[in-house]
Structure 1
Amino acid sequence: MKVTIDNELAGKIALVTGGSKGTGKAIADRLLEAGATVISTARNKPEDQPDDIHFIAADLSKPDGTQQVIDEVLSTFGHLDILVNNMGGSETPGGGYAVLSDADWLSSLQTNLLAPVRLDRGFLPGMIRRGQGVIVHIASIQAKLPLYDATLPYAAAKAALVNYSKSLSNEVAPKGVRVLTVSPGWIMTTASSRMMERIAESADVTAEQAAQGVMAALGGIPVGRPAWPEEVAELVGFLVSPRAAYLTGTDFVIDGGTIPTI
């Protein structure tokens, strides 16, 4: 069979966390189009969940939730070839360090750092035994450009995820497993719209003014707009494919030119 973009992941089993909407859904759809058997997770099953994607309802911010996913994937499919740790987000209040409690910090760390760590720990032994596998961590440019007024714990957790991802790659690349990070800038999703609403409420401005404030805080987006989820998914689709076989240990920034340094 001739290998093309439409079938280059045929025979591969892929898990996308946070795969029911937004960027996660776009990534799951992209891997499915490339021929992979796709599993997605989220807290709740969406009404429009497609039948050709195996869905697992689980709360990955809790250790029991990650273990549930690991157990079901391995018992149902036997192994995992591709893990995309996409789940993440910020539910903490705006207002800077003073309004943040220990619970706010712990919630962000559980969701944005420890959930990927636990899933990696669950699936890496099988990947190492087979001498192959790909793990992608979806981080954020806030690891380098934190917004202290809005998402301080989220930015700190994503910075830790980038560092962890690089360290993990150094350990497991000699064993045949590639580990990569994708750091998007602002993506036009429902979650980003909710974040604008929270910032607006905290600052007593409109959502449109909040969005302009975020653009200004980021230094502007030279391309002139946020990314679409499908654009991030296309990058992930390439990175997990055989065409990217020599890529590991790298943080791929997709931000429309937002980060002002090289």
Structure 2
Amino acid sequence: MTGFLNLRGKRALITGGTQGAGAATVALFRDLGAQVLTTARNRPETLPEAMFVAADLSTVQGCERVARAVQDRMGGVDVLVHMLGGSTAPGGGFAALGEAEWQAELNLNLMPAVRLDRALLPGMVAQRAGVVVHVTSIQRLMPLPAATTAYAAAKAALSVYSKSLSKEVAPAGLRVLRVAPGWIATAASIRLAGRLAEAAGTDLEGGKRMIMDSLGGIPLGRPSTPEEIASLIAFLASDRASSITGTEHVIDGGTVPTA
């Protein structure tokens, strides 16, 4: 990979970079020569303080803190990767989602990208170069009504916002792209498969099949790895993809049944 791509000299902010695909993206960007700053609520011991800022990006104040750190530590940014996302909403369909649950999903999956873009894109426009990658989800195309309605709606909003932004800033030399993962084999998702397996009296592979079945199947027969997600993001952020903008790139093992 490092022989094909390089990100040398690029200043990159990667949100949610301490676990799963986010951590894999941070590691790969560093291997490819980028100067990386990442953020989450708490710093893991494996990350040096110089490349981390602790912040709650679901708040206005947290986004402001990260934007200031980008300016103070790197003098701006060349690549902005929005990895942050997830869901804390309860199951039970639309009736289980009150005002607080809806606002929490939007504040986690949409507004951090909007706020950080608003703070950092003017610098990219001024330098007439930059790449923004918004990590969406196939859930915007395949929501699960019992569990992911609010999350899927927030990711759909992020996708539409990203497309509109790409049209606005492309004439200034900026590229804005989306990456839409399906099921990723993170430590958390493997633990979920284990819990499902235990409850159903089967083994771990049986638990994984239960997750795949809930998605309507994965033709490839397995989830994506965090490293595969990171590789796609690194390619899109690199000069190898310099004419690609405004598009969404699905990485889901064939889960989405239509193009």
TM-score (norm 1): 0.91
Name which of structure 1's ranges 135-144 and 98-107 shifts more when overlaid on structure 2. 98-107
Corresponding residue number in structure 2 for 1:165: 162
Letter in 2 for 1:136: V
Distance in 1 of aligned mates of 2:104 and 2:200: 27
Distance in 2 of aligned mates of 1:163 and 1:197: 35
> Which secondary structure does the structure 1 equivalent of 2:250 belong to?
strand
Corresponding residue number in structure 2 for 1:48: 46
Corresponding residue number in structure 2 for 1:252: 249
Corresponding residue number in structure 1 for 2:214: 217
Corresponding residue number in structure 1 for 2:258: 261
Change beyond 3 A, Cα 1:4–1:193: closer
Distance in 2 of aligned mates of 1:220 and 1:4: 35
Corresponding residue number in structure 2 for 1:142: 139
Is this contact kept in 2: 1:88–1:111, CA < 8 A? yes
Is this contact kept in 2: 1:5–1:34, CA < 8 A? no
Change beyond 3 A, Cα 1:124–1:112: same
Change beyond 3 A, Cα 1:240–1:104: same
Percent of aligned pairs with the same amino acid: 51
Change beyond 3 A, Cα 1:255–1:248: same
Does 2:124 correspond to 1:127?
yes
Backbone CA RMSD of aligned residues: 2.1
Instruction: Give the drift of 1:211.
Output: 5.0
Distance in 2 of aligned mates of 1:143 and 1:135: 19
> Which secondary structure does the structure 1 equivalent of 2:44 belong to?
coil
Corresponding residue number in structure 2 for 1:72: 69
> Which secondary structure does the structure 1 equivalent of 2:143 belong to?
coil
Corresponding residue number in structure 1 for 2:24: 26
Match of 2:10 among 9, 12, 17: 12
Change beyond 3 A, Cα 1:42–1:206: farther
TM-score (norm 2): 0.92
Letter in 2 for 1:45: R
Change beyond 3 A, Cα 1:185–1:206: farther
Corresponding residue number in structure 2 for 1:35: 33
Match of 2:175 among 174, 178, 182: 178
Distance in 2 of aligned mates of 1:119 and 1:57: 15
Structure 1 unaligned regions, length at least 5: none
> Which secondary structure does the structure 2 equivalent of 1:56 belong to?
strand
Letter in 2 for 1:248: T
Structure 2 unaligned regions, length at least 5: none
Instruction: Give the drift of 1:151.
Output: 1.5
Letter in 1 for 2:18: S
Instruction: Give the drift of 1:149.
Output: 1.1
Letter in 1 for 2:28: R
What is the number of equivalent residue pairs in this alignment? 254
Distance in 1 of aligned mates of 2:221 and 2:209: 12
Q: Deviations over 1:230-259 (max 9, x none)?
A: 000000010000000000000000000000
Distance in 1 of aligned mates of 2:42 and 2:33: 25
Corresponding residue number in structure 1 for 2:236: 239
Letter in 1 for 2:257: P
Instruction: Give the drift of 1:193.
Output: 4.5
Distance in 2 of aligned mates of 1:85 and 1:46: 19
